Amino acid sequence: QVQLVESGGGLVQPGGSLRLSCAASETIFVINSMGWYRQAPGKERELVADITITSGSGTNYGERVKGRFTISRDNAKNTVYLQMNSLKPEDTGAYYCEAVVSDPLGGFVNEYWGRGTQVTVSS
């Protein structure tokens, strides 16, 4: 099992910034990618950003956050960060960390989720 622990959520005014962190537990699995998804009440979960872990640092961003959010990683700590700037009220929601892993022996791929951290953008 891989455990993901998110931190950094909170209350911020419109135009402000927050940085989220997601730390993965020690694991024998290979983490292929990590990312962030968010969900507001009554809405579907959507991709915020993800980043390749195994090689390179390829990134992918949702259209609603592109240009404002930046995802980065620290492979030595199995940690991914999400820097959120120019926050808008529409960014409010529960943010969930996600990791896609594979077995170095068997080659299977699996997905794990954190419990989420709340981000509220309001004046």
For residue 105, with 0-12 CB atoms within 10 Å meaning exposed, 13-18 middle and 19 or more buried, which class applies?
exposed
106-to-61, 62, 98, 99, 110 alpha-carbon distances in Å: 30, 32, 21, 18, 12
pLDDT at 28: 80
Give residue-wise pLDDT tens across range 64-117: 999 999 999 998 888 999 999 999 999 999 999 999 999 888 778 999 999 999
Give residue-wise pLDDT tens across range 3-53: 999 999 999 999 999 999 999 998 888 899 999 999 998 999 999 999 998
Distance CA 39, CA 77 (A): 26
How far from the centroid of its chain's Cα atoms is residue 21's Cα?
8
